[in-house]
Amino acid sequence: MKLRSYMIIGFLLSLLLSIVPFSGNFTTAATPTAVAPVSALSFTQGVQKTVLDNGLTVLTKEVHTAPVVSVQVWYKVGSRNEVKGENGISHQLEHLMFKGTTARPVQFGRLFSALGSQFNAFTSYDETAYFGTVQRDKLEALLTLEADRMENSLVGPEQLTSEKRVVISELQGYENSPDYRLSRAVMRDAFPSRAYGLPVGGTKADVEKFTVEQVRNYYRTYYSPENATLVITGDFATEPVLKVVKETYGKLAKREKEDTGTQGRGDVVRGNITASSPVAPTTKKAPIVLKQPGSAALLQAVYPLPDIKHPDVPAIDMMDAILTGGRSSRLYQALVESGLASSVSGGAAELIEPGWYEINATAAPGQELGKIAQVLQQTLAKLQQQPVTTEELNRAKTQLQASFVLGNQDITSQASQLGYNQTVAGDYRFIEKYLAAIAKVTPAQVQQAAKTYLNPAKQTIGFFEPTQPDGKPGASSAGSGRTVENFSPGKPVDPAELAKYLPPATSATDSSKQSLPEEFTLNNGLRVLLLRDRNLPTINLSGQIDAGTEFDGNQKAGLANLTANNLMNGTQTKNALTLAKTLEDRGAGLNFSASREGVSVSGEGLSTNLPILIQTLADVLENATFPAEQLELSRQRALTNLKVQLDDPRGLGRQVFQQAIYPENHPFHSFPTAESLKSITRDDLLAFYQTHYRPDTTTISLVGDFDPVKVKDLLNQAFGKWEATGKPPVLKIPTVPLPQTLTRVNKVIPGKAEAVTYIGYNGISRKDPRYYAALVLNQILGGDTLSSRLGTEVRDRLGLTYGIYSAFAAGINPGPFLIQMQTAPLDTQKAIASTLALLKQLREQGVTEAEFNTAKRSITNSFPVDLANPSNVSSIILNNAVLGLSRSEIREFPQRIQAVTKPQMQQAIEDLIKPENLVIVTAGPGDTVPKGG
C-alpha cells in the first residue's frame, strides 16, 4: 500500500502529500481481534459547509490546537479533463497560477513566502489544488491572494514562454526515472483511449505547442467559483471568517463558458471507450517490455477498477492492505522474503471515473521478472480461491483506520482530507460512509473483490529490463575552469516594492507560548524528552543513536546502514514476522535508518499502543540477533539500492560532490560500493551493534497523549537492564579547508534526459555562532525556489530550471553548503554561469535592508506552522537535544532569528560565500559541457 507520487505532479521540489484515502502512505496494519470502527466524526465534526450564490463551496473547520490556519482551493479539473493534443495543460496552468495577477503582477511565491506561508500546489487526475498554511493573523491575506488568482491570473505570452521551459525541465527530470518510463508505457497500454492513460504532467510535444489562447480558455472554463471548493481549517472563528469569504469571493462571477472545441471534456466518449465503463480485453495480453539504460529490473501490473463511489471500494482497499500492507502482507512475504524482489508495493486509484489497481516490484539482483510475475499471479490466485483469515482482515482494518488518525494530526492534512473528498467523491462526509463500510467488510467480500478485479485477462503488465544492469556510471572528467558564458544577473527583487502587493495581516501572533519538553536521564545514561499533547490520541516517537555512517570507514562502507536495517529482523524471543505483526496488528510503525551522524528512529501509533511501541524498541535495541538469512536478503536489497542511486543523477551527483569536498580519510567521504557491501559479515554487524548501540549514546523524544509518570515507569521497565561498558567511541573529525580553486567534475549517466548540478564546499556546524545569520542569508539566496534570488533569476527570469535551492547542512559537525539545481543538458552551463554571477553579486553588493528584514520575517512567521504538527515537534525536540542546544530553543528560535543584525549578516557573507573556491559537480547526460568548455 502506498501513495503513488506520480499521481500528483507538484509545483515545487518538495511536494505536499495529498490525502488520497484509497492509496494511503502507510506500511503498518491491524489487530487480530475484532476491530471497533474508527469514528469518522473526528474528521468531519465541526465542519460547516456553505455554498455562495456564485456556486463556490466553502468548508470551514475550527481546530484550536495551534495558532495557525490552512487555506486550500481545490479545483475540479485535472488530466481527466484533457483531450488529444493538450496533455499537461492542467499542470501548465497550475504553474502559471504563480506568475501573478493583473492587480499583483509579481511571482506569488514571493508573496506567500513574505507571509511565512508553507505553500504548495499539485495537479492530479481529477483535481488541481493550492495550499497555504500560515499563522492565524495571515488568514485574510491568504484568502485575498487566492481569490485574486481565481479570477485575475496573468496568462500572457511572456508568462507562458518562461513557464513552458520550466515545465519541460520538470518533465525531463521525470524521464530520468525508469519507474516513470515504465508506468507511462503501461498506463498508455491499459487505457489507450482514456485521459487517465496519459501522464498527469503532460508530454514535451504537447507542452511545446500550447498557445496563450488555449491556456486562457482552459483557465476561463475551469477556474470558476462553481467548479471550486475553498477549505479553511485551524485557529479561527467561523462567522467572521465566512463574512470575509463572502465579501472576497462572493463578488467573483461564474464564468461564461467559451467554446474550446472540447465541450464537457470530463464527460465525453473518448475513442471507443466511455468514461463510465472501461472495456477490458477478453484474452491475456503479452507483457510490455522496455529495454533501456537503467539499473534495477522493474515490474508493474495494472487492473481496471470501478469509480470511487462504487460499493466494492472498501473491499478493494482491504484486498490491497492484505496484499501489500506492511511486512506481514502476502506479496511482501511471497516476493521480498523469498529473495525474488527487493521491494513490492501496491495501491488502488479510485477516482471520479473508473480507475485501476496497481502492483509494483523491483527485482532482487539476478532474479528474473518472469519468475516474479509467476509468483505474483500465484499469490493473487490464492486470494481468489480461499477466503482471507480473520486475523489478516482485522489487521488490514486497523492498519487503514489508524493511518487516517495518524495522517490527520496537522490542520493541513485535515484540510486536504476535506478537499479531496468534496472534489473527487462529491461530499466531504464521504469518509464517514467509507470508514463505516470498512468496518463491515467480510472475508467473502475481499475474496469476491479479488475474483472480480484481479482477473488475468484484464491485466496490463510491463517489464523494465535494464541494458546497463551493473549500474556503473559512464565516463567522468574533472578540472578547474570557468564556465563558457558570463551572465549579469538582474537586480534583486525589492521587498519594499513587493510589500505594496501584500494584503495586510490583522494582528501579531505570540510565538513564545510553546510548551517545553521535560528532560531526564535513565540510570544507564539513556536520555528522554517528553512533551504531553492531549489534542489527539496519538504518539510520535523520534530517536537517535550515535551509530551513524561516520563510523563505517571506506573498507566497510554500508555497515551502519546494514546494521540499522537488520534490527527488526529478529530478537532473542521474536523472529522478523512476529516483530512485524506485533506492530502491524495495532496499526503502529517503527523504523530505523542510518545517516552520517547517527541512526534515526521514528515511531508512531495510537496512544493506547505506546507500551507495545516502547517494548518493541527496547527489545530490538538490546536483543537483536541478526539472522544470517535475513542479512543476505538485506544485503541484496542494499546492492539494488546502490545500483538505483548510481543510476540517478541526484544520488550519484551528491556522492561525487561529497567526495570532492571531503578527503579520503574523512568520515564524511565514505559511501557504499558493491565490494564493500559484499565484504560485510554477520560478525561485522554484531561487533558494530555491540560497540555503538549503547544507552548512553541514545536519545528518545516522545510527543503525544500520555501520562508522563506512567511513561517514566514504562521506560525504566523496558530499558532498565540495558547497560553499556566503558566509554562510547569518539571520532575526531578533521577540519576541511576550502578548495584552492574553482573545481569542475562531470559524471555521465547514459540514457538520462536531465542533468543535476551541485555547487558548494564545506560549511558550518549547527552550534557555529554564525548559524542564525547563515539561515537568514540562505533564505535570501536560495531558501525557497520561487522567492529567493536564485529562484527569481535562474528559474523565474531565465526559465533554466524546474527547481533550484541552497542550504547549509549544519549538523554536530560542519556539513556542506550546497546549491542544487535540475536543468536541461544544454541549459546547464548557462544556469551555472548565472548562479556564479549571483554569488559574486551577493559577495560584492551584499543585501538590502528590506531583503534582510523580509527574510527574517519569513523564517519566523513560518516556524509556528512547523510546531502545529506533533510529528514535527517530536523531531525538532530531538534534534535540538542531539545538537547540544537548550530545551528552550524550540521557543526561542524566532527571537534568535530576529536578533540577527545587518553587520552579522555582512560578516556571514564575507565568511561563507566564496565564489572562487566552489566545487561544481554535474551528473546526467553527456552533452552538458560544450566542446572546448
193/190 Cα distance (integer angstroms): 9
Q: Does the pLDDT of residue 40 top 60, yes or no?
A: no
- Look at the block and give the residue holding cell 468534496: 422
Grid cell digits, residue 182: 515504465
- Look at the block and give the residue holding cell 496484499: 323
The reported pTM is 0.92
DSSP state for residue 326 in the 8-state scheme = S
pLDDT band at 265 (very low <50, low <70, confident <90, very high): very low
Burial class (CB in 10 A: 0-12, 13-18, 19+), 47: middle
pLDDT band at 500 (very low <50, low <70, confident <90, very high): confident
660-671 pLDDT, tens digit per residue, is: 999 998 999 999
273/670 Cα distance (integer angstroms): 55
Cα distance between the two ends of the chain: 48
379-428 pLDDT, tens digit per residue, is: 999 999 999 999 999 999 999 999 999 999 999 999 999 999 999 999 99
CB-based burial, 407-428: b 16+ in 10 Å, e otherwise: bbbbbbbbbbbbbbbbbbbeeb
- Residue 3 near residue 374, CB atoms below 8 Å: no
Grid cell digits, residue 14: 518538495
- Residue 821 near residue 787, CB atoms below 8 Å: no
898/230 Cα distance (integer angstroms): 34
What is the per-residue pLDDT for 41? 56
Provide the total of helices (H) and of strands (E) in the chain, helices listed first. Answer: 32, 24
The torsion angle over the Cα atoms of residues 16, 20, 25 and 29, rounded to 10 degrees, is 150
866-911 pLDDT, tens digit per residue, is: 999 999 999 999 999 999 999 999 999 999 999 999 999 999 999 9
What is the per-residue pLDDT for 137? 94
Torsion sign over Cα 195, 196, 199, 201: positive
Nearest one of 314, 88, 45, 77 to 184, comparing CA atoms:
88
The torsion angle over the Cα atoms of residues 198, 199, 203 and 207, rounded to 10 degrees, is 100
Q: Does the pLDDT of residue 291 top 50, yes or no?
A: yes
Grid cell digits, residue 826: 544544454
- Look at the block and give the residue holding cell 508573496: 111
Average pLDDT over residues 146-163: 96
What is the per-residue pLDDT for 505? 72
- Residue 29 near residue 391, CB atoms below 8 Å: no
Mean pLDDT, all residues of the chain: 90
Q: Does the pLDDT of residue 477 top 70, yes or no?
A: no
Helix (H, G, I), strand (E, B) or coil at 248: helix
pLDDT band at 6 (very low <50, low <70, confident <90, very high): very low
What is the per-residue pLDDT for 852? 95
670/658 Cα distance (integer angstroms): 9
709-730 pLDDT, tens digit per residue, is: 999 999 999 999 999 999 999 9
- Residue 104 near residue 501, CB atoms below 8 Å: yes
Nearest one of 892, 401, 900, 841 to 606, comparing CA atoms:
401
Q: Which residues are CB-neighbours of 901 under 8 A, at least 6 positions away?
A: none
Distance of CA 96 to the CA centre of its chain: 23
- Greater confidence (916 vs 264) lies with 916
Mutual angle of helices 682-692 and 628-646, in 10-degree steps: 90
413-471 pLDDT, tens digit per residue, is: 999 999 999 999 999 999 999 999 999 999 999 999 999 999 999 999 999 999 864 54
What is the per-residue pLDDT for 284? 79
342/639 Cα distance (integer angstroms): 9
What is the per-residue pLDDT for 361? 98
- DSSP for 678-695 reads HH--HHHHHHHHHHH--G
